[in-house]
Amino acid sequence: MQFFEKKSVILDSRANCLFHPLGNCDKRLHHRHPVRVRKATGELEEFDPRKIRRSLIRAGADASLANEIISRVESEIYDGISTRELLDLALRHLRELRRPGLGVRYDLKRAIMRLGPTGYPFEKYVARVLAAHGYRVLGIGVVYQGRCVEQEVDIALEGERGRIMVECKFHHEQGVYTDLKPAMYTYARFLDLEDHFDGAWLFTNTRFTTAAARYASCVGLMLTGWDLPRGAGLRELVDSTGLYPVTAIDIPEEGWRALVSRGIVTLRDVISAGVKRLKDAGLDRSTAARVVKLAEEAARYG
C-alpha cells in the first residue's frame, strides 16, 4: 500500500498552526524533514510505520486496526521522539479504541523487563516458555558438582540434543547488550559441568554484541536473544505460544511477585487460577477481577 511507502514528515505550515488543538505551533510542526526516532541506545533512526504495523499484527491486530493506530500515532509524533514515547502513544490509542487486551500483547518487551530487577522471575518465565516448546525442565536453580567446583544452573533441560544447561542473563533496561563476558563464562561453566550436560545455552531478553555472537558460534554455545536467532528469538518463542508474562498487566510489583512465587507466571496461568487464587495470593478482589479480565481479553487475540 502506498500509505506505508511514503516517508513520515513534519510539515511547516501556518494552516497547521491555526488548527492545532493547543492553538499554537509546537515542536511537532516545525520544518519539513523525515521524522527521526531516538532509540534506547541514543541513536537516531528514521521513523518507519511498518515497524509499528508489524508489531501490531504480531500482537493480533487486523490490518484495519493497525492502519488506524498508525494514522493516529503519525499525527502526534515529532522529530526526536523516543521509542518509549512512541510505544506509549500506540498503547494509549489502543486503550482509546477499547483494545486493552491487544495492548497487553503489544508491550511484550517492557513486560519482560518488568520481571526484574533480579533475574529469578525471568528464569522461571523462560523455563515455562521452553517447556511449551517441547523441552522437559529438570530443575530451576539446581546445584551440580562440577569437575572443579559446585555450580548452580539457572535452568536444566532435556531435549532432542540431550541435557542442556541454560544460563539466563536478564537486563531491566533497554539498550543494554549482552556482551562477550557472559558468553565466555557460560561456556567455561559448561566445561566444568560436561559430566552432567551435553550442551549450553545462553538466554537474554535484549540483544548480543557481535563479539558474543562470534564467540558462541566458534565454541558451539547456543544463543537466544530478543530477536536472535532470526525468526526464532525470544519474541517469536513467546508469540508462538501465547505465554505472555503476568507483568504484561499493570499491577504493583508486590502483586506480580506474589503470583510468580505461587507458580502464576503467565497470563494463561492467571486465567486458569481465576479470581479466588489471585485473591489467595494477596491481590484484592477488584484488582484480581481486573487482571483476570485483561488476561482473558489478551487471550482472544491469540
Could you tell me the pLDDT band of residue 149, with boundaries at 50, 70 and 90? very high
Does the pLDDT at position 24 exceed 70? no
Matching CATH topology for 115-239 and 245-299? Answer: no
Q: What is the mean pLDDT of the chain?
A: 87
Q: Per residue in 77-123, pLDDT tens?
A: 999 999 889 988 888 888 888 787 788 788 899 899 989 777 789 99
How far apart CA 88 and CA 94 sit, in angstroms, is 10
What pLDDT shows up at residue 177? 95
- Neighbouring residues of 284: CB distance < 8 A, sequence distance ≥ 6: none
Q: Are 212 and 183 in contact (CB under 8 A)?
A: yes
Percent of the chain at pLDDT above 90?
Answer: 59
CATH assignment of 115-239, given 3.50.50.60, 3.40.1350.10, 3.40.50.1110, 1.10.1040.10?
Answer: 3.40.1350.10
Within 13 Å and on the Cβ side, how many CA atoms surround 67? 7
294 pLDDT above the threshold of 60: yes
Residues 6+ apart with CB under 8 A from 238: 108, 129, 244
Domain range 245-299, CATH architecture: Orthogonal Bundle (1.10)
Half-sphere exposure of 147 (CA within 13 A, CB side): 9
Domain limits, the chain: 2-98, 115-239, 245-299
Q: What pLDDT score does 33 carry?
A: 64
Task: Please determine, for residue 237, whether its predicted confidence score (pLDDT) is greater than 90.
Answer: yes
